[in-house]
Amino acid sequence: MSAQPRSYTCGILTLSDKGSRGEREDTSGALLKEKLSEAGFTVSEYLILPDRREEIETKLIDWADLKKLDLIVTTGGTGVSPSDQTPEATRAVIDIEIPGLAEAMRMASLQKTVQAVWSRGIAGIRKQSLILNLPGSRKAAGENLEVVLSSLMHGIYKLQGGQADCGEGNTPHR
């Protein structure tokens, strides 16, 4: 008998110097909250931080280790501006990288714009939390999330020890 489906918790961390100072509205974080909630995730944390590596690392560790969020989605800081530190902060705190998620997002983005080659977002696991870096623009963040959204619940289920077979329809989640 399989376990009952459950809602997974998630946090949305927006990285923006201007957003953290209240000089720019966080439209990408708002969109991600909407999309993740519609997909069945419980958004239990949301925060805007400046593009500072140490602050990003500290928050990722807090949300994974103490809050034990199932999914942590970042938006912003994945480009090549001098202040873009999200991939470095994420890489410093994850236990293992999951390159397929970032590769899938970049491949899909390349179908829309050649500028996707500049995206440096990564995905990885810290303890039992999946951390996923998305671009900072509302449009790109939404498009990138859509590429991997249908796989996230299954991946988190397996990450947390789910034993059901991987065949479609066989795992106890949405």
Give 123-160 pLDDT, tens digit per residue.
999 999 999 999 999 999 999 999 999 999 999 999 99
CB atoms within 10 A of CB 163: 10
Instruction: Answer for the pair 86, 74: CB distance below 8 angstroms, yes or no.
Output: yes
CB atoms within 10 A of CB 67: 14
pLDDT at 7: 86
**List of domains in the chain:** 9-159 (3.40.980.10)
Give 79-121 pLDDT, tens digit per residue.
999 999 999 999 999 999 999 999 999 999 999 999 999 999 9
Give 49-63 pLDDT, tens digit per residue.
999 999 999 999 999
Using pLDDT thresholds of 50, 70 and 90, give the confidence band for residue 163: confident
Instruction: Work out whether strand 129-134 and strand 71-75 pair parallel, antiparallel, or are unpaired.
Output: parallel
pLDDT at 168: 57
Residue entry with tokens 């995730």: 41
Using pLDDT thresholds of 50, 70 and 90, give the confidence band for residue 174: very low
Question: In angstroms, rounded to a whole number, what is the distance separating the alpha carbons of residues 36 and 28?
Answer: 12
- In degrees, to the nearest 5, what angle opens at C-alpha 30 toward C-alphas 57 and 117? 65
pTM of the model: 0.92
pLDDT at 81: 94
CB atoms within 10 A of CB 112: 11
Question: In angstroms, rounded to a whole number, what is the distance separating the alpha carbons of residues 4 and 143?
Answer: 30
Residues 6+ apart with CB under 8 A from 8: 40, 41, 42, 70, 71, 152, 153, 156
